[in-house]
Structure 1
Amino acid sequence: MTLRASCRNWLARHPRLQRSARFLKRHRRRITGTVVFVAHLLGALTSVRAIMETRTSQGAIAWAISLNTMPYVAVPAYWVFGRSDFNGYITARRTERESLKPFWRNFDSTLRERSLVPEPGNSGTTVVERLAKLPATSGNHAELLIDGEQTFPSILEGIARAEHYILFQFYIIRDDPTGREIRDALIQRAQAGVRCLVLYDEFGSKPPDDYLAPLRDAGVRIFPFNTTQGDANRFQINFRNHRKIVVVDGLEAWVGGLNLGDEYKGLDPEVGYWRDTHIRVEGPVVQTVQVSFAEDWYWAAREVLEGLNWDPQPAKNGADMRMLCLPSGPVDPLETCTLFFLHAINTAEHRLWIASPYFVPDAQFISALQLAALRGVDVRILIPDESDNGLVDLSCWSYLPELHAAGIEVYRYEKGFMHHKVTVIDDRYCTIGTANFDNRSFRLNFEVTMGVEDESFTGEVIRMLETDFSHSRKVVPGEFGEKSAWFRFWSRVARLTAPVQ
């Protein structure tokens, strides 16, 4: 029996469906016309919103064209990926900051009494402080942690030292030996009476119940960041919390590129060697890191965090590094992450090295990098040779002619997958954090970046990147032009998707 005959027999046994089928057949043209009209009307109306609210002109143009030409696909895609407003978070952050005001006034006055603020008059510091809405501090110490081999033991040692509380936040938490080792360490401290609070991004990872249950049974409080809470955010998956933060007792903190899983130790045979960087800090900058966690906790748990340590103490070893924590995200009134890195590029005088696994800059960054190179700055870009995102890798190739035209050097890391997010500006300033050099980190993700102004520490970072360059292939000018015409075409097509990558 043919499929058509089977369908006829099935309809014959269901007279109501048979009548509906006849009705649809009789009014097919009218129904089709109505659906087309409604779809294009929704596309037109949504394109107005996209033009009014999308942060970049490229993104607004891309959405407006697709919403009016392909509304059947573009309209649902826009409501999931295209929105630039995060309903409710601004109000939640305002509430949380209001609750912290008494602590914050005391924190600020204590910083000044203990001479834990940098000397006034540095306009660059003032700009960054205004962007961060957090103070730069002195009296800090930073420890460079290279790869999972150094990072995870350091975090485990910090967890073991905790006496009062642990604030723990990662984009990805895996249920694998690495993830379970950290979990067991948190359980042990929770059972010893230490307050343990855990946040993770529900799109970055979905730890199974049998991973989470032992944590909760031990008294660890754990929440997904939950970007979809609230009716207006129900279908919103565009805003990710990409931060990786650990704070212990308000005395030490860890921030950087590593998530929690075996691959970040280089133990995944499919991924191979994983190149990444974290930073451990002590001193008054730790309290500014925990401000970021407290805001995210309030959004996820709807709870004001009390009982945190807001008493700024200089680093125990007497170090006096100037540091600043820069949280950034889609709810900021200004494009905090964008402006921060543009400022860094524009202030570079002789060295600007950028390491990023996802290098998809927009026009303003290309121009700023070209101007830096034309000023005589040694501009180098370090990216992975084997990317885990084919679209990003294709896009990245299309930027090479513009970079090479200004004398910018591009290196492709060949030893394994390079995932760290590090910049060096001259010989005294560097950043380590979670932000990639792409639209998602600049405008859509919640990120955190640590800025360190110290010649000795920056020297360590420079030597680390020099080792990375020695494991990299320098891309030859004209290499993109030698690719096939189809490769160059698809590279340009991939670049058009940069606003939504």
Structure 2
Amino acid sequence: MDRPNLPTFPTRSLEDRSRRRRQRFTEDKLVKIRTEHNNVGAFKTMLAALVILIQLGIIIALSFLPATIALVWYLAVMFVISVFTAISVMSSHRNTQAKAVWVLFILLFFFCGFIIYFMSNDKYMYARARRRHREIFARSEHFLPEHTAVNASDEMAHMCAYLNSAGNFRSYNNTRLNYFSSGAQLFDDVIESLKGAQSFVFIEYYAVSDGVLISRIWDVLEEKIKQGVDVRMIYDDVGSRAFSHAMRKKMRAAGAQVRVFNRLLSRFTFAMNYRDHRKIIVIDGKIAYTGGSNVADEYINEKHMHGYWKDTGLRIEGEAVDSFTLFFLRQWEFITNKKCEYTPYMGHYERFSSSYVAAPYVDGPEYELTICKSVFEHVISSARERLYIMTPYFIPDDSVTQCIINKALSGVDVRIILPSVPDKYYVYLVTCDNAEKLIKHGVKIYYLRDSFVHSKLAINETCAVVGTVNFDMRSFYQQFEDALLTDDQNVLAQINADFENTFPDCDNPQKPAKNGLVKTVAIALLRLVSPLM
């Protein structure tokens, strides 16, 4: 029987409310609604419609020829183009699995596959936007300090050097970090920090939804706007479908600057599938936040989506805040197509004496290298004693998978925590199949009981990554992401404690689950397209 809705207590902390719901959620009915791993259905529909129109045009042109000759010519031309396209795919810099899927698709559907490939290829369809990003980078990079070698272990120093070379990202020593083991803890701290805002508040999120959380945040921001605080928000159009027009209108009327990232249906653009998956809050240039949680009630367990919602976050103070300010302003300039004034928002941080390193970074179509994937590979390969991973989706490519296997075979304690409740069943099938295939190599797989794990963590004995990056192809190759790499021993201890507290609440299978015929066939078919998930 469903429990009645719990009363609302405005003065109770979000973490306290989340903890109470954690005790009760197993008796509540799980509400199945859409989450982050949505496919962009409208994009696919319009893409298919365009392909059909092109094909109809060719058919009409050939209709003036005798039927048999026209058909032969049509198929011959399409096949030749498809063969050359397949050769182009094989010589590209895509990952091997994605190449195989595209070649199979192009040759199997040679009458339209090559068109879909070129229309979805960021090399062709995102080139103009990438040039704009580069112009923005060039005009704003002088706000970053000069890169200097960090005082850290060899592994950490190498990773920081890579981040500087790959994306011009800086690594900082004078920074203080604090880790949150739940979304409710994170947003309790965010709301308290917002109350002290004096100059500006920048918010960039994939998913913003009407509800208790945004109302709590807006109550504070509305007062701050009256005090003259500059409030700006970026939300992703796909992730924020539950962010109502009425709420946005209310915020804008009060003086907040609210902008949408990559509006889905405003115009037909082939970049629709590139989503802003970042989660950034900057307050006065002194405090920044990031992590897995979005601004929606499920992330604080105010609403039961798929069981208990497990998430994490990070508070940043000190020099590293400037990087998050820069990340936001660059995205703001890209969206608004207006040059930003960076100077008023930089250099307001408080200096902290710390020997530990904090290295913020972002990734997305604007960068040529797969930065997030490479950092994960660095963390995995540098593990000597233990490697703990927490992720909602586990669909890595072969290089990451082999890296994890090699670590387990070398004696490293490798553990991966996954959800036991799926948000998208077809993705979950591939996730579980990928993970359980690692058991025979010594990797320990954990499923958090009656819960959806949304945390994005990777930690070894010397460093950790906290951010928005899933272990899947979309995060590695397609979406705009952000994260922070650190060797801060205090944060590492907090993250390790979170893992150790979570393991007892997990099921730990000792061998892969046995699948029936239908499920086995379904997994095999899904595996063909898993590189595109």
Aligned to 2:254: 218
Aligned to 1:56: 95
Contact 1:225–1:241 (Cα < 8 Å) also in 2:
yes
User: Quick check: 1:497 aligned with 2:533?
Assistant: no
- Once residues 434 and 73 of structure 1 are traced to their aligned partners in structure 2, the CA distance between those partners, rounded to angstroms, is 35
Contact 2:262–2:275 (Cα < 8 Å) also in 1:
no
Aligned counterpart for 2:335 among listed residues 289, 296, 300? 300
Q: Deviations over 1:52-109 (max 9, x none)?
A: 54612221221122123225664565456454552333222222222224433xx449
Q: Deviations over 1:452-474 (max 9, x none)?
A: 21222201100101111111100
User: Quick check: 1:488 aligned with 2:520?
Assistant: yes
Q: Say which is worse superposed, 325-334 or 91-100, in terms of deviation.
A: 91-100
User: Quick check: 1:123 aligned with 2:163?
Assistant: no
Equivalent residue letter for 1:449: A
Equivalent residue letter for 1:445: Q
User: Quick check: 1:406 aligned with 2:441?
Assistant: yes
Q: Secondary structure at the residue paired with 1:198? A: strand
Aligned to 1:267: 302
Q: Say which is worse superposed, 62-71 or 76-85, in terms of deviation.
A: 76-85
**Once the 2 structures are TM-superposed, how far is the Cα of residue 475 of structure 1 from its aligned partner?**
1.7
Change (3 A) 1:228 1:45: farther
Q: Say which is worse superposed, 327-336 or 460-469, in terms of deviation.
A: 327-336
Q: Secondary structure at the residue paired with 1:440? A: helix
Equivalent residue letter for 1:390: Y
Contact 1:187–1:214 (Cα < 8 Å) also in 2:
no
User: Quick check: 1:343 aligned with 2:378?
Assistant: yes
Aligned to 1:68: 107
User: Quick check: 1:90 aligned with 2:123?
Assistant: no
Matched pairs, number: 468
Indicate the percent of aligned positions where both proteins have the same amino acid. Answer: 23
Q: Say which is worse superposed, 435-444 or 409-418, in terms of deviation.
A: 409-418
- Once residues 241 and 300 of structure 1 are traced to their aligned partners in structure 2, the CA distance between those partners, rounded to angstroms, is 11
Q: Secondary structure at the residue paired with 2:357? A: strand
Matches within 5 A, 1:133-212: 133-206=168-241, 207-212=243-248
Q: Say which is worse superposed, 380-389 or 397-406, in terms of deviation.
A: 397-406
- Once residues 300 and 374 of structure 1 are traced to their aligned partners in structure 2, the CA distance between those partners, rounded to angstroms, is 46
**Once the 2 structures are TM-superposed, how far is the Cα of residue 44 of structure 1 from its aligned partner?**
5.0
Aligned to 1:13: none
**Once the 2 structures are TM-superposed, how far is the Cα of residue 324 of structure 1 from its aligned partner?**
0.6
Q: Say which is worse superposed, 377-386 or 294-303, in terms of deviation.
A: 294-303
Matches within 5 A, 1:241-320: 241-306=276-341, 307-311=343-347, 313-315=349-351, 318=353, 320=355
Over the aligned positions, Cα root-mean-square deviation in angstroms equals: 3.1
Gaps of 5+ in 1: 1-23
Aligned to 2:5: none
**Once the 2 structures are TM-superposed, how far is the Cα of residue 313 of structure 1 from its aligned partner?**
4.1
Q: Secondary structure at the residue paired with 2:404? A: helix
Considering only CA atoms, is the larger Rg found in Structure 1 or Structure 2? 1
**Once the 2 structures are TM-superposed, how far is the Cα of residue 173 of structure 1 from its aligned partner?**
0.8
- Once residues 229 and 135 of structure 1 are traced to their aligned partners in structure 2, the CA distance between those partners, rounded to angstroms, is 36
Q: Deviations over 1:391-412 (max 9, x none)?
A: 2211123324541222111111
**Once the 2 structures are TM-superposed, how far is the Cα of residue 199 of structure 1 from its aligned partner?**
0.7
Aligned to 2:42: none
Contact 2:384–2:412 (Cα < 8 Å) also in 1:
yes
User: Quick check: 1:452 aligned with 2:486?
Assistant: yes
Q: Secondary structure at the residue paired with 1:91? A: helix
Aligned counterpart for 2:466 among listed residues 432, 436, 452? 432
Gaps of 5+ in 2: 1-62
- Once residues 375 and 402 of structure 2 are traced to their aligned partners in structure 1, the CA distance between those partners, rounded to angstroms, is 16
**Once the 2 structures are TM-superposed, how far is the Cα of residue 348 of structure 1 from its aligned partner?**
0.7
* TM-score normalised by length of structure 2: 0.80
**Once the 2 structures are TM-superposed, how far is the Cα of residue 197 of structure 1 from its aligned partner?**
1.4
- Once residues 423 and 270 of structure 1 are traced to their aligned partners in structure 2, the CA distance between those partners, rounded to angstroms, is 25
Contact 1:201–1:240 (Cα < 8 Å) also in 2:
yes
Change (3 A) 1:313 1:173: closer
**Once the 2 structures are TM-superposed, how far is the Cα of residue 205 of structure 1 from its aligned partner?**
1.7
- Once residues 376 and 117 of structure 2 are traced to their aligned partners in structure 1, the CA distance between those partners, rounded to angstroms, is 28
- Once residues 470 and 128 of structure 1 are traced to their aligned partners in structure 2, the CA distance between those partners, rounded to angstroms, is 36
**Once the 2 structures are TM-superposed, how far is the Cα of residue 172 of structure 1 from its aligned partner?**
0.6
Equivalent residue letter for 2:109: M
- Once residues 72 and 180 of structure 1 are traced to their aligned partners in structure 2, the CA distance between those partners, rounded to angstroms, is 51
- Once residues 264 and 132 of structure 2 are traced to their aligned partners in structure 1, the CA distance between those partners, rounded to angstroms, is 14
**Once the 2 structures are TM-superposed, how far is the Cα of residue 383 of structure 1 from its aligned partner?**
0.8
Contact 2:379–2:464 (Cα < 8 Å) also in 1:
no
- Once residues 39 and 267 of structure 1 are traced to their aligned partners in structure 2, the CA distance between those partners, rounded to angstroms, is 53
**Once the 2 structures are TM-superposed, how far is the Cα of residue 310 of structure 1 from its aligned partner?**
2.4
Q: Secondary structure at the residue paired with 1:255? A: strand
Q: Say which is worse superposed, 256-265 or 490-499, in terms of deviation.
A: 490-499
Contact 1:164–1:249 (Cα < 8 Å) also in 2:
yes
**Once the 2 structures are TM-superposed, how far is the Cα of residue 36 of structure 1 from its aligned partner?**
5.6
Q: Secondary structure at the residue paired with 1:247? A: strand
Equivalent residue letter for 2:309: W
Q: Secondary structure at the residue paired with 1:497? A: helix
